[in-house]
Amino acid sequence: MNKSFNNLIFRNLAIFCLLLTGISPSIAQETTQEPPEAIEEITITQQRPPSLLRREIIQATENVYDLFNSLNDDDEFNVYCYEEYILGSRIKERFCHANYIENALSNVATDYVNGQQGDPESVPGATPHLIQAEIRLKNRILGEKMLELSNNNRQLNDALLHLKDLRDEYSELTAD
């Protein structure tokens, strides 16, 4: 709509409102003013609160891992996040693990339970040192896979950079 048509609508609306209140339209014509010019843009600069940044970081992390998992060809290195209550606490904590870590934890728990039950056929699992060494090796491989995929996929690279920027902003905000 053009400006003169908008002014006409505004003027008629003002007269209608004045008629409802009992003021004469002749008085209204004398006092009706042009509407002020519209403000083109308002920029508000304010830091985001830490709680909002934390939610954005969680969402960005989920986005990175979803992209990585869709590009990754080895399910053992897929990464999933979940929330879990910590023993003795009513507060949930967020964890993100690759499948190989979940498998290692499961194997250790199974070996422990079988050993506690005195199962004669249970074969003792790997020692904690071997498990830690295997996880360190697979962590390095996971990092290499993430780097390779992010170098070859613009969307994953952008998601990682966005996550880094959010984490940096959160660190600066909470450093005070």
Q: What mean pLDDT comes out for the span 110-137? A: 75
Asked whether 173 and 49 are in contact (CB, 8 A), the reply is no
Q: What is the pLDDT of residues 56-90, one digit of tens each?
A: 999 999 999 999 999 999 999 999 999 999 889 98
DSSP 3-state assignment of 83? strand
Domain boundaries, the chain: 1-40, 50-174
The yes-or-no verdict on residue 22 having pLDDT over 70 is no
Give every CB contact of residue 175 below 8 A, 6+ residues apart in sequence: none
Whether pTM > 0.85 for this model: the answer is no
Mean of per-residue pLDDT scores for the chain: 81
Q: Which residue has the tokens 């830091």?
A: 47
Rounded Cα–Cα distance for residues 174 and 176 (Å): 5
Q: Which residue has the tokens 């023993």?
A: 87
DSSP 3-state assignment of 34? coil
Q: What is the pLDDT of residues 150-176, one digit of tens each?
A: 999 999 999 999 999 999 999 998 886
Exposed, middle or buried: residue 156 (CB in 10 Å: 0-12, 13-18, 19+)? buried
Give every CB contact of residue 49 below 8 A, 6+ residues apart in sequence: none
Give every CB contact of residue 102 below 8 A, 6+ residues apart in sequence: 80
What is the maximal distance between C-alpha atoms in the chain?
104
How much is the pLDDT for 10? Answer: 54
DSSP 3-state assignment of 124? coil
